[in-house]
Amino acid sequence: TTIPTTSSIRGLVSPNSPLPALVAPAVAACSPYSSGAGLSGSYTYNAATGNLSVSGNNTVTLANGTYCFGSITLAGNAKLLVNGPVIIRLTGQFNASGNSVANPTNNAANLQISSSFAGSNGVAISGNSTANLTVYAPAAQVVLSGNSQIDGLVLGKSVTMSGNAAIHQDTSTSSVWAGFFL
């Protein structure tokens, strides 16, 4: 892991501590895609492809439960709202841009994303977006840019941050994944 000189880490840091490689188990691709039951609000969803899209000042609310989606796109001032525990299994990408917000409950354990996507920009959060969630994407690149922030835990094949992006993880309330990134 390389930490740019403009970054900061608060907490216990042990540089040059030889540890065995972290081997994260793969995420099985989910199937079939969710039917759309449990979704409410103003959004676009295609059950055949599993693609969920929310844009502008619109909000989609997900009822408590587990969902299988192809990809999720939040743009503009879009919001992804959960009120309790929601698990999302993705086969594609998660993209939040513009002033979008995922899970305004401020509890990262309420929104868990497990992605089987392999490749660049598997989880991309940009442009003043905030996401309270846990991300498990062992084969995908996680990208945060432009004042975006994840409040929660992140495990990805790689994590790329730029432009005042941040990851904040409060260990006193989190109990999901102990790893940071691979």
- pLDDT at position 62, please? 97
51-107 confidence digits (pLDDT tens): 999 999 999 999 999 999 999 999 999 999 999 999 999 999 999 999 998 888 888
CA distance 179 to 20: 13
100-112 confidence digits (pLDDT tens): 988 888 889 999 9
Q: How confident is the model at residue 22 (pLDDT cuts 50, 70, 90)?
A: confident
Q: What is the mean pLDDT of residues 15-29?
A: 77
- Residue 46's SS3 state is strand
CB atoms within 10 A of CB 133: 28
Cis peptide before 32 (omega within 30 of 0): yes
- pLDDT at position 115, please? 97
- Per-residue tokens: 45: 């969803």
User: Computed from CA positions of residues 118, 61, 177, 6, in that sequence, does the dihedral angle turn out positive or negative?
Assistant: positive
Q: Is a pLDDT exceeding 90 seen at residue 174?
A: no
Q: Pick from 143, 174, 140, 175: which is nearest to 160 by CA? A: 143
- pLDDT at position 14, please? 60
Q: Which residue has the tokens 């609000």?
A: 41
Q: Count of alpha carbons within 13 Å of 128, Cβ hemisphere only?
A: 6
Amino acid (one-letter) located at 19: L
Q: Is a pLDDT exceeding 70 seen at residue 177?
A: no
CA distance 159 to 44: 29
Q: Are strands 111-115 and 86-90 parallel, antiparallel or unpaired?
A: parallel
What's the predicted TM-score (pTM) here?
A: 0.84
Q: Which residue has the tokens 């004042």?
A: 147
